[in-house]
Amino acid sequence: MRKIAVIYSGHASHYRTFHEPKFAQYIEKLIYLPELENTDLDPFDVLIVPSQLNSNLLLKSAKKIHKFADNGKTVVALGPQPWEWIPNQKWEHRPTNFWWWLEENADSGLRVKNENHPFFDYFTLEDSSWHQHGVFWPPSNATTLISTIDNGSVLYIDEVSTNGTWIITTLDPDYHFGSYFMPSAERFLEALFPWLSVGNFN
């Protein structure tokens, strides 16, 4: 099993999400964000960078996170983020429709890509569907797994920009589960932790 560390802000949604026993069982260490710069990341295989972090502190530790990836490790970034710290990303902000599911013939606008990827041994599109804050246009050799209708990437894996693996998504399940709403976010996390622990990334 891979050893997973999570950067931790201490705010309410993070507290609930990462202390929830069914998720906490997979977490080797919670790293309080102000202490990240002085924390040894070598013992870990996966580093989760959740949404809603203090952007100044996060950007201050960007080089440390890149070094972690360059050692062949995996970085998971949950959105929204100050995306400029992520390698070779091209972020496009889009207006958020929080209530699409109330529309007649509701359609999230999300689609499966690369449906034979091992990701879908754990996840369904329904588990990954709520509102979006924008899309990425990732490097050409990255693997998009969830996209919008116009092929903007909502979740992709980048194994070409560094020596490591970057799993990037605009989705923010940590915030929504921790804030007690969005059932699909709970299902997403129920798939995410087992996948990160023992699943295949390619």
**C-alpha dist (Å) from residue 41 to 30, 68, 195:** 11, 7, 20
Q: What is the pLDDT of residues 77-109, one digit of tens each?
A: 998 888 889 999 899 987 766 655 556 666 667
Query: Which band of pLDDT confidence, cut at 50, 70 and 90, is reported for residue 176?
Result: confident
pLDDT at 76: 98
- Mean pLDDT of all residues belonging to the chain: 92
- Structurally, how many domains does the chain consist of? 1
Q: Is the pLDDT of residue 1 over 70?
A: yes
pLDDT at 107: 61
Strand partners, 27: 4
Query: Which band of pLDDT confidence, cut at 50, 70 and 90, is reported for residue 183?
Result: confident
CATH of the domain at 154: 3.40.50.880
**Which tokens sit at 15?**
């507290």
| Residue count of the chain | 202
Q: Which residues form the domain of 166?
A: 4-198
For the ranges 20-34, 80-94, 155-169, which has the lowest average pLDDT?
Answer: 80-94
Q: What is the percent of the chain with per-residue pLDDT over 90, rounded to a whole number?
A: 77
Query: Taking the complete model, does pTM exceed 0.85, yes or no?
Result: yes
Q: List, as one string, the DSSP characters of 21-71.
A: HHHHTTEEEEEEGGGGGGS--TT-SEEEE-SS--HHHHHHTHHHHHHHHHT
pLDDT at 99: 54
| Alpha carbons 78 and 152: distance in angstroms, whole number | 16
pLDDT at 163: 97
pLDDT at 78: 96
